[in-house]
Amino acid sequence: MSTHTIAFIGLGVMGGPMAANLVRAGFDVVGYNRSPQRAQALAAAGGRVAASAIEAATGADTVITMLPDSPDVESVVLGEGGVLECMRPGSLLVDMSTIRPDVARRLAETGRDSGVRVLDAPVSGGEQGAVEAKLSIMVGGEEEAFEAARPVFDALGTTVVHVGPAGAGQTVKAANQLIVAGVIGLVSEALVFVDAHGVDPDQAVRVLAGGLAGSTVLDRKAASMLARDFTPGFRVDLHHKDLGIVTAAAREAGVAIPLGGLVATLMGSLRAQGHGALDHSALLLELERMSGRGETADS
């Protein structure tokens, strides 16, 4: 069997471990990141490092992008100097970043014009899911392209679902971000609430996690929230971006998301106070502030 070469562009919190897992699964991986020190982990794992996105993508069977936001993906993929220019017909472009569904659809249309098969395949599961290759991957695009990319997805995640045509993966990811933000907001409120009543929050979390209030957020985030460790993980800046995607897409569809709108405001407020680089579980700080409790924003 000939080697399958994957160009991996964007080697950050998520992309770094994902690229390393692809090396472990036997793919030939050539990575590129704008800040070169981010590529060191890939080199240590046995991958190759390119000096530009174009250099990485030239000759690749599959190009994966894992970049912060829609404009980053557009600038790397589209237009003059974009990787679509150098990709050969029949190859796959898989954008795994969380971006706007309409941008995902535009990437697919532009790819089709040059014979490149494009999938939107955003992920959920956080840094831990990326490191352990246990991501949930929600895929939009043509069925045949999905099947072709399946071995790549299987090396990165355990729940891989083709949810519909181009853009559908990003729509489901937006729904995912709506749920996660809402749950973090409610867990934060519950922690402030039990603490205000003098109940030990550690004991409260233990029992809450075993009942209907149990959730992955409670399991994975409550302990670090109580320890006031907000090392990212998933940055407030990125969740703020995602809630912007959710509110715009809901408006476009004429759908009311009252709880989503509220949690988007709380996340925006947290960010406006200078906490954009913290983990999104720092939403606890915002809920504490509103009740005049907890440490101050700067402490």
User: Binding of ligand NAD at residue 14 (CB under 6 A)?
Assistant: yes
Bridge partners of residue 140, in order along the sequence: 120, 164
Q: Closest by alpha carbon to 4, among 154, 165, 135? A: 154
In the list 180, 204, 238, 285, the residue contacting ligand NAD (rule: CB under 6 A) is 238
Q: Is 246 in the site for ligand NAD (CB under 6 A)?
A: no
Does 97 engage in binding with ligand NAD (CB under 6 A)?
Answer: yes
Stretch that binds ligand NAD, among 28-36, 140-148, 204-212, 217-225 (CB under 6 A): 28-36
Distance separating alpha carbons of residues 285 and 250, to the nearest angstrom: 27
For residues 117 and 280, which CB has a smaller minimum distance to ligand NAD in the complex?
280
Cβ 297 to ligand NAD, closest distance in Å? 23
Cβ proximity to ligand NAD: between 53 and 86 the closer is 53
Task: Please say which residue, 13 or 42, places its beta carbon nearer to ligand NAD.
Answer: 13
> Does 221 qualify as catalytic in the annotation?
no
Q: Which residue sits closest to ligand NAD, CB atoms considered?
A: 12
Q: Which of residues 54-93 bind ligand NAD (CB under 6 A)?
A: 66-68, 72, 75-76
Would you say 204 or 267 has its CB closer to ligand NAD? 267
Under the binding rule (CB under 6 A), the answer on residue 243 touching ligand NAD is: no
- From residue 144 to residue 183, the character string flagging contacts with ligand NAD as x (rule: CB under 6 A) and all else as - is ----------------------------------------
Q: Is 37 in the site for ligand NAD (CB under 6 A)?
A: no
| Catalytic residue IDs | 173
